[in-house]
Each structure stands twice: as structure tokens, then as C-alpha cells.
Amino acid sequence: QVQVVESGGGLVQPGGSLRLSCAASGILFNIYTMAWYRQPPGKPRELVAAISSGGSTNYADSVKGRFTISRDNARRTVYLQMNSLKSEDTAAYYCNANVFTTTRRGDYWGQGTQVTVSS
């Protein structure tokens, strides 16, 4: 069984920073793309940033230059460094891992971590 667990959310003032972490565990043969999504209140879930197993990255236009995604393959962990936070970054942030297990390759989601940007 695969588990994906996020941490690091919280309340921060505009202009501040937060670092999210997400670790995948279980019987995994390979982890391909890892990504962060977010879902603001009353809106659909959207891609924030993604990183391939080789380190290639892509970002939503709204976070380019402010957010940085990185990963530690040995630790099966992906990070999201968020700087210059704005009120519109307020959302539940979800980690996604595309994983190959003993029986299938598929997407696994974490339970989400809340990020609130407010003064």
C-alpha cells in the first residue's frame, strides 16, 4: 500500500514564506512525476508545480518566480518552497505522486495541507 503524506502548511502573512514537504512510502518500485496541486475555497483543484524523476520542472504561471519545487529521490520526498506569498495563494495544497508498485502504475494523493495567507 502506498501512502503520501504532506506537511508544512499553516498561517503566514503576505510576503512571507512557507515550505511544504511530501513523503511517499510503501512498497514502491519507482516514483515518476511528483507534483503539488492546490484547491482554493469554492474553486477547482489546479496544478501548482511538477517535477519529473530526472528533475525537470514546470510551474503554473501564477507562481513562477515565487515557488520552487524540488525532490530528494533517496528520501522519496518532494518539497515546495513558497516565497512572496499572496492572499490568493490561500488554498488546500495536495501532493500527487505517480508511482509504480507491485501491481500497477498510478496516481496517489495526500490528504492535503492548508495554507492561509492573511494579515
* C-alpha span between 47 and 25 (Å, rounded): 22
Query: pLDDT by residue (tens digit) across 13-54?
Result: 999 999 999 999 998 888 999 999 999 999 999 999 999 999
pLDDT classification of 1: cutoffs 50, 70, 90? confident
Long-range Cβ pairs for the range 63-71 (8 Å, 24+): 63/89, 69/35, 69/36, 71/34
What's residue 25's pLDDT? 92
DSSP 91: E
Dihedral sign for Cα 83, 87, 92, 98, please.
Answer: negative
What's residue 50's pLDDT? 98
CB 96 within 8 A of CB 34: yes
Q: Is 88 helix (H, G, I), strand (E, B) or coil?
A: helix
CB 101 within 8 A of CB 28: yes
